[in-house]
Amino acid sequence: MRVLVIGSGGREHAICWKLMQDDPELELFCAPGNGGIGEIATLVPIPVTETQQLLSFALEHKIDMTIVGPELPLSLGIVDMFQDAGLPIFGPTRLAAEIETSKAFAKDFMVRHGIPTADYQVFSDAAAALEFVEASPIPIVVKADGLAAGKGVIVCHNRRQAEDAVKASFSIDTKVVIEEFLVGEELSLMAFIDGKTVVPMPAAKDHKRVYDNDKGPNTGGMGAYAPIPHMGEEVVQEALDTILVPAANALAAEGRSFTGVLYAGLMLTDNGLKVIEFNARFGDPEVQVVLPLLDSGLLAIITACVEQRLAAYAGIKWDQSSAVVVVLSSRGYPGKYQTGKLISGVVKASRSSEVRVFHAGTAYHGGRLITAGGRVLAVVGLGPDLKQAQMCAYRAVSEISFENMHFRRDIAAKALAKTVPNHISD
Ligand code: AMP
Ligand code: GLY
């Protein structure tokens, strides 16, 4: 089998690692990949936006399955192009991916189909949006409609901030969504979908802010864990019944049948689960804690999705242990940061069978591993429970160093503080 993975972050390294773990004989290509991915796959120097070149490469190299990591090529219709050329590809079509790529579409879609989400209005005129903000309760959330690489959402705690957010959003987009601020606990729930059948993965928790105690600006994600011990089966079932299954059915009914991974960013409120956002792909870093818990072959599941036979595919099993990932970033990220710093300790940190080190922004330069991005490495620790997974991750983190390395020291800490130790209930 020849498989092509598209993307270059920790998400794509986790996907490539799992594929090679399942089948070391696989011929694996990754475009464009990174330093760590290059250790297990052949790197193809084509950017993710060059969809025509990616298609030519896949045709020429007789690729049996292509797996799309990030949202950008989905928004450019890469799945439609491969399908038109008769090539198997895992991911939603351009129209189905609008559930992520247009917030206005996603919100209107949810309301049309009774899927619970924050109350909202869509504006295409700044003056009307400003008037609305004046009359709305605070806090309020302002979102640019389209893809904005994590910079499109502003939670506003006073009216002045809300006005500035409206102006800033209209400077990058023609449509702006203004919505109610939801109070509760966030979770990420991803599911495999073959157009019809929905199979959930374990719920995961992202840590989006750059500093401990959820301080500082939003990032692509500074850490995550899965499963969430204080959110049991009933939360996943509620999400399936009220959100994921209705969304898959409604997308199919609207002629936007969804194949791939649907990611629901959810808030568990006093009035039940509500959708914060949908993504049309694996979440990053969530996928880095979910795939190490997958006891079944990833390519077999992906193939069952693409061939629309997920209902008959009974082979999806999850390990009962826990996983914690800690992201090591370049100081300054998500703002300006330096690259080209020498990284040491990765081999030593990876020695334990309970540790995986996924690369996000790395490169090899003259045989030496150097930093090449904001998020540099992601260190995953596994354990029989969340506490041991967390200890394992941080032990491995302590082996790694590079100049200006930054990481959060409180990944999974809130969940562990919630857990009542056994001796108290004895
Ligand atoms: P997003 O880019 O949509 O994932 O949003 C970034 C973060 O903003 C989310 O993870 C939430 O913490 C927060 N957020 C977005 N929308 C809302 C909302 N309606 N209420 C409260 N927080 C929100
Ligand atoms: N971790 C959030 C995302 O992948 O969008």
pLDDT digits (tens, 9 = 90+) for 190-216: 999 999 999 999 999 999 999 999 999
Domain of residue 75: give its range: 2-91
User: Which atom of ligand 2 lies closest to the CA of 285?
Assistant: 1
Has residue 292 got a pLDDT over 50? yes
Q: How far apart are CA 361 and CA 358, in angstroms?
A: 10
The closest ligand to the CA of 279 turns out to be 2
CB 403 within 8 A of CB 340: no
Give, to the nearest 10 degrees, the angle between helix 10-22 and helix 298-306: 100
Question: Could you please report the per-residue DSSP string of 206-227?
Answer: E--EEEGGGEEEE-S-SEEEES
Give the burial string for 218-251 (b: 16+ CB within 10 Å, else e).
bbbbbbbbbbbbebeeebbebbbebbbbbbbebb
**Per DSSP, which regions of 223-285 are E strands?**
223-226, 259-269, 272-279
The residue among 161, 180, 199 that closes a domain is 180
Does residue 54 lie in a domain region?
A: yes
Does residue 7 lie in a domain region?
A: yes
The best mutation among 210, 263, 276 to test binding of ligand 2, ranked by most ligand atoms within 8 Å of the C-beta, falls on 263
Task: Say if residue 336 is in the same domain as residue 392.
Answer: yes
Percentage of the chain modeled with pLDDT above 90: 86
Has residue 149 got a pLDDT over 70? no
The residue among 91, 109, 137 that closes a domain is 91
User: Which atom of ligand 2 lies closest to the CA of 150?
Assistant: 5
DSSP for residue 367: T
So what's the pLDDT on residue 425? 36
The residue among 180, 203, 224 that closes a domain is 180
Ligand 1 centroid–CA 173 distance in Å is: 18
So what's the pLDDT on residue 151? 63
Report the CATH number at residue 75.
Answer: 3.40.50.20
Task: Say if residue 370 is in the same domain as residue 425.
Answer: yes
So what's the pLDDT on residue 150? 59
So what's the pLDDT on residue 424? 43
Task: Say if residue 125 is in the same domain as residue 83.
Answer: no
Does residue 65 lie in a domain region?
A: yes
Task: Say if residue 329 is in the same domain as residue 409.
Answer: yes
pTM of this prediction exceeds 0.85: yes
* Residue 312 identity (one-letter amino acid): A
Sign of CA dihedral 203, 79, 27, 307: positive
* Nearest alpha carbon, ligand 1 atom 8: 153
Task: Say if residue 326 is in the same domain as residue 425.
Answer: yes
State the total domains in the chain: 3
Ligand 2 centroid–CA 327 distance in Å is: 13
pLDDT digits (tens, 9 = 90+) for 377-402: 999 999 999 999 999 999 999 999 99
**Per DSSP, which regions of 247-374 are E strands?**
259-269, 272-279, 322-330, 355-359, 362-365, 368-371
Does residue 189 lie in a domain region?
A: no
Does residue 6 lie in a domain region?
A: yes
Task: Say if residue 336 is in the same domain as residue 389.
Answer: yes
Report the CATH number at residue 355.
Answer: 3.90.600.10
Task: Say if residue 76 is in the same domain as residue 174.
Answer: no
Element (DSSP H or E) covering residue 198: strand 198-200
Does residue 420 lie in a domain region?
A: yes
Report the CATH number at residue 148.
Answer: 3.30.1490.20
Ligand 2 centroid–CA 232 distance in Å is: 22
Does residue 216 lie in a domain region?
A: no
Task: Say if residue 129 is in the same domain as residue 36.
Answer: no
Does residue 315 lie in a domain region?
A: no
So what's the pLDDT on residue 196? 95
Q: How far apart are CA 123 and CA 339, in angstroms?
A: 39
So what's the pLDDT on residue 25? 97
* Nearest alpha carbon, ligand 2 atom 2: 283
Ligand 2 centroid–CA 12 distance in Å is: 13
Predicted confidence band of residue 426 (pLDDT cuts 50, 70, 90): very low
Average pLDDT over residues 81-108: 96
Has residue 423 got a pLDDT over 50? no
Residue 50 burial class via C-beta count within 10 angstroms: exposed 0-12, middle 13-18, buried 19 and up: middle
